[in-house]
Structure 1
Amino acid sequence: MKHEDSWQGRLLQFCKVFWPILVTQIGLCAMNLADTIMSGRAGTDDLAGVAIGSGLWMPVITGFTGILVAIMPIVSQLTGSGRQQEIPQKIMQGLYASIFISLIIGVLLLLVFPPILELMSLEAGVRHIAYHYMIGLLIGIVPLFAFTVLRNFIDAQGYTFVSMLVTLFAVPFNVLLNYGLIFGNLGMPRLGGIGAGYATTITYWLILIINIILCVKLPALAKHRLFLSWPKPSLKAWKELFNIGVPIGLSIFFEVSLFSVVTLIVGGLYNKVTVAAHQIALNFSSLVFMIPLSISMALTIVVGFSVGGGRIDNAKRYALLGAFGGIGFMGLCAIFMYFNREGIVAIYTNDAEVAVLAVQFLLFAIIYQLSDAAQASLQGVLRGYKDVRATFLIAFVSYWLIGMPGGYVLSVATEMGPFSYWVGIIIGLTCAAVGFMLRLRSVQRRAALSGIAAG
């Protein structure tokens, strides 16, 4: 990457960073999409079980891998300031921390997952599939966390196309494994929805191995000489990572857990048809969310690069470019989803009862797209400034003190049923977007006055 002084130059550089991230995120999401679609073809119990297992897995894993997102602003600012020699130490310590975190979380999930399932009013078949789907995923928790560090290291330097190519290779491999392990094809055992968990975990190991090889063999990455020396784990280095990463992880957790808790509530209060319909709408909207999420990640990289190089005006212009672009693009996506909602649902299920309900859920997903785009873009800009502590407080208040209670009140006071919680999601996302916008204005004013990024 290089510092650009024109709108055209900034736009081209942003697009160069953004579009491979988008392809990568869609590819990673496609793995979950394949789990859902192919499990749905195996049966309603399989679809509901994968929905419950994923609902418990995603907020915890996404939140804790979110800690490792700190690698991105750290490396991008070091790259922007010309201090690349400090990067290898940061990455090796990040890998140590990732292994430590993943092992702790893996043990905790093994302990708490069974009691949570017992508290839910699930049919025995759904509970069995959810539990063993989760066990399959847990085998891949170490490579998932480790390749998150390496991906952020690669992307933060602007080499986002590398992660894209790895993902484009891995996704078909994952689909092929699903085909074998869910349906018992290719000489593999028929495991139903459970097989999707094992297919995903095998893919995680493959992605980690490929990333390690690229870091050693690709000249642009090999210059950092990763894995040639193994420094001792440093609590001081971990402190910097956690000071930035924990607020990021908490922010992500607060948002993702809002969706997951709604899934668990729906699973606990309603029948498997409602759970399956809810999961279809949530799964497709999550795929569409890869667009603003990719914009957010690209903004973190280019804003961090500009801030590291002392180009505060550039950082502000990138923020405008990404935020307004994201909102506009998601507006077009919302229109597409509205006019094609029945066709979208038909991809997932042949069950007429599930399909009718899923179309209704999808209408609520369409509504929250704009707020989701705004909050994601603004949050990405703030991470580029390394301004993360206020962000997680705004996220907590918006999602858990406003959004979730709002959904509960609507469920009690109205006849909206499971849809009331989706209205709560819309309220929470909108409040977060407003809060992040106000915070960013404050950070930008402070940066302009001091000439440095807010920390």
Structure 2
Amino acid sequence: MKFLQSKSFHETKLLLKLAGPIIVGQLGQNMIQLADTVIVGSLGPVALGASAFASSLFIVFLIFGLGILAPTTALFAKMQGQENFPLGGTLLRHSLFVACAISAVLVAGVYLLIPHLEIFGQRAEILTQGIPFLKLLTWSIVPSMIYQSYKQFTDGIGKTKVGMYIMIAGVIINVLLNYGLIHGYHGLPKMGLVGSAWASLIARCIMAFCMVAYVHLNPKFAHYFSEPWIHRFDKQMIKNMLRLGIPTGFTYFFEVGAFSSAAVMMGWFGAIPLAAHQITISLASTSFMITLGVGIASSIRVGFEMGRGDYAQARHAGFTAIKVGAIYMGLCALGFFFLRHWFPTFYVNDPDVIEWAAKFFVVVAIFEIFDGVQAVAIGSLRGMSDTQIPSIIAFFAYWVMGLPGGYALAFHLGVGPVGIWMGLLIGLIFASILLTLRFHILSKKYLTNVGTN
């Protein structure tokens, strides 16, 4: 009864109220890829492996772009805390400009890379099916970035259900189109693996259109757009967004790039371990999306309290979120361990793929808590507009400790494919410890500065 009246319980309620719709939206984003994986799995291990390889490359570029936009959520929350509502519209306009500019760069980057994909050492059949899929999927970066720039706005001002509803609609559209375009059902053309890319692209375009229309046509948002929408750009504001966003983009890149590099290395062992890896990572990513939603909510709570100047509450909000993330991922760890042979059967009935996936899930069960802590800690730091040091921590954790450790275990110490997952575990351990320590030091510093002024 005492806990129900405590400061921690009140903060947890505020956090979860924000996080709930964000989590549904994040799960929806992951469900688009999960649906692709499940339906593509019916085409066989080669198609699933090609999808895994292409998606691993695509997601690195997309996540880098989404990372650049990520700090704007805290900027919107801070604006809300200051009650400077016209600034919200100005921030959104500049965020949209950044989103479109970065999208063009990312699409160009993927197309420049495509002629050189053989450097990743994939088998010929993987590249033959994977390249057309990747070319088409890449164009979905553009609507994804536009959608995200508006979602950062609605999330930052506390209207987290907007993105949730639009994402749910997008998932339904994507699943139906995947089902129809891959196999040619209900009069749609039978397109195989490429049909999955078309489904993702169409769904993401519809989502972006709905988000833009909802924000600009809804009178509830009118007070954010009291100043002219078409106006000159503030170069300093764009520089500030990029100053915060580019390090965050690299933070996302270092983490997701590590997992994508792990998929590339897994491909060196053949199509069976790679298919098992894709199954494992898709389910692990689903659990991670919930924690990522808590991290985004944490950035909103911390950013809002920073805008109000209540640094003690900002610190409390951040650590409450970290605890919630750790507890949730601990429960997921138990599920992955005890159901490790059952989960893969949702995707395939190949006994070899199922057995490899079960082995990978043992390692996943260990790293779940560390993954949850680092995801929420980095969100809390983003709420304090701290992005540069977390980027350095991510590079060290994943690219100095994690990936080299995984490579050594897999290819030089005789552990095999499981060693790659053990390397990811090493990276997550370092990331969770260092990021939490960084939040502790930075939030204490704010409190100390207040006390001395």
Assess if the C-alpha contact under 8 Å between 2:8 and 2:320 holds in 1: no
Decide whether the 8 Å contact of 1:106 with 1:141 is kept in 2.
Answer: yes
Match of 2:50 in 1: 49
User: 2:113 and 2:129 mapped to 1: Cα distance?
Assistant: 16
- The TM-score, its normalising length taken from structure 2, stands at 0.95
Distance in 2, Cα, partners of 1:331 & 1:216: 41
Q: Could you give the per-residue CA deviations for residues 62-84 of structure 1, whole angstroms, max 9, x where no partner exists?
A: 01221011211111111111112
Q: 1:26 maps to what in 2?
A: 27
The amino acid that maps onto 2:263 is: T
Matching of residue 257 in structure 1 with residue 233 in structure 2: no
Structure 2 residue aligned with 1:287? 286
Letter in 1 for 2:421: W
Structure 1 partner of 2:100: 99
Question: Which position in structure 2 is the counterpart of 1:309?
Answer: 308
CA offsets per residue over residues 145-202 of structure 1, 9 Å max, x none?
1111000000011111111111111111100000111111122222222211111011
Residue number in structure 1 paired with 2:91: 90
Residues 296 and 381 of structure 1 are in contact (CA less than 8 Å); yes or no, is this contact kept in structure 2?
yes
Shift of the alpha carbon at 1:413? 3.5
Rounded Cα–Cα distance in structure 2 between residues aligned with 1:190 and 1:228: 47
* Cα 1:397/1:342, change in 2 over 3 Å: same
What's the C-alpha RMSD, in Å, of the aligned pairs? Answer: 1.7
Q: Which residue of 1 aligns with 2:431?
A: 432
Name the residue aligned to 1:199: 199
Contact 1:300 1:383 in 2 (8 A): yes
Matches within 5 A, 1:20-419: 20-116=21-117, 118-225=118-225, 229-267=229-267, 269-419=268-418
Q: Secondary structure at the match of 2:362?
A: helix
Partner Cα distance (1:230, 1:379) in 2: 34
Q: How far, CA to CA, are the matches of 1:10 and 1:362 in structure 2?
A: 33
* Counterpart Cα distance in 2 of 1:193 and 1:165: 28
Instruction: Give the Å deviation of 1:217.
Output: 2.6
Partner AA of 1:79 in structure 2: Q
Please say which of residues 126-135 and 283-292 is displaced more in the overlay: 126-135
Contact 2:86 2:225 in 1 (8 A): no
Q: What SS class does the counterpart of residue 305 from structure 2 fall into?
A: helix
> CA–CA distance in 2 between the matches of 1:413 and 1:144?
40
What is the number of residues matched between the two proteins? 447
Give the partner amino acid of 1:144: S
Is the 8 Å Cα contact of residues 12 and 321 (structure 2) preserved in structure 1? no
Contact 1:39 1:196 in 2 (8 A): yes
Does structure 2 retain, via aligned residues, the 8 Å contact 1:77–1:305?
A: yes
Distance (whole Å) between structure 1 residues aligned to residue 334 and residue 226 of structure 2 = 46
By how many angstroms is 1:8 displaced?
A: 4.1
**Aligned pair in 2 of structure 1 residues 226, 107: CA closer, same or farther (>3 Å)?**
farther
Amino acid at match of 2:21: P
Give the Å deviation of 1:119: 2.5
In structure 2, the residue corresponding to 1:350 is in which secondary structure?
A: coil
Q: Which amino acid aligns with 1:50?
A: S
Q: Which amino acid aligns with 1:276?
A: A
- Which residues of structure 2 form unaligned runs of 5+? none
Distance in 1 between the 2:42 and 2:228 partners? 47
The structural deviation recorded for 1:100 is 0.9
How big is each residue's C-alpha offset from its partner over 1:222-262, in whole Å with a ceiling of 9 and x where there is no partner? 33238962123443221010011111111111000000001
Counterpart Cα distance in 2 of 1:444 and 1:221: 32
Q: 1:90-138 CA deviation, whole Å, 9 max, x = no partner?
A: 111111111111011111210112312x224434332122111111212
Tell whether the 8 Å contact from 2:122 to 2:264 is kept in structure 1 after alignment: no
Greater Cα offset, 228-237 or 198-207: 228-237
Structure 1 gap ranges (5+) = none
- Partner of 1:451, secondary structure, is helix
Moved over 6 A (4+): none
Distance 1:16 1:186 in 2: 40
Matched residue type, 1:329: Y
Measured against aligned partners, the alpha-carbon deviations of 1:332-383 in whole angstroms (never above 9, x if no partner) come to 1111111112221000112122111111112111211111011111111100
Asked if structure 1 preserves the Cα contact closer than 8 Å seen for 2:16 and 2:294, the reply is no
Distance 1:123 1:8, change over 3 A: closer
Whether the 8 Å contact between 1:67 and 1:248 is mirrored in structure 2 is yes
* Distance apart, 1:292 and its partner CA: 1.2
Q: Partner letter of residue 179 of structure 1?
A: Y
Letter of the 2:109 counterpart: L
Three-state SS of the structure 1 residue aligned to 2:225 is: coil
TM-score normalised according to structure 1 size: 0.95
Deviation at 1:34, TM superposition (A): 0.3
Residue 89 of structure 1, CA deviation: 1.1
After alignment, is 133-142 or 13-22 more displaced? Answer: 133-142
Asked whether the equivalents of residues 181 and 188 of structure 2 are also in contact (C-alpha less than 8 Å), the reply is: yes
* Whole-angstrom CA distance in 1 between matches of 2:350 and 2:228: 55
8 A Cα contact 1:77 1:304, kept in partner: yes
Which amino acid counterpart does residue 230 of structure 1 have in structure 2? I
CA separation of 1:418 and 1:227: change in aligned 2, threshold 3 A: farther
Q: Identity of paired residues, percent? A: 29
Give, in whole Å, the separation in 1 of the partners of 2:264 and 2:232. 42
Q: Cα 1:192–1:160, aligned 2, differ >3 Å: closer, same or farther?
A: same
Q: Which amino acid aligns with 1:238?
A: I
**Residues 248-303 of structure 1: CA deviation (Å, up to 9, x unaligned):** 11111100000000101111x11111110111111110111112111100100011
- In structure 1, how many angstroms separate the alpha carbons of the residues matched to 2:250 and 2:450? 28
CA contact (8 A) 1:215 1:226 kept: no
User: Is the Cα–Cα contact under 8 Å of residues 62 and 256 in structure 1 kept in the other structure?
Assistant: yes
Change (3 A) 1:272 1:218: same
Structure 1 letter corresponding to 2:422: V
- CA-to-aligned-CA distance 1:425-453 (integer Å, 9 cap, x gap): 1011100111112211210111102239x
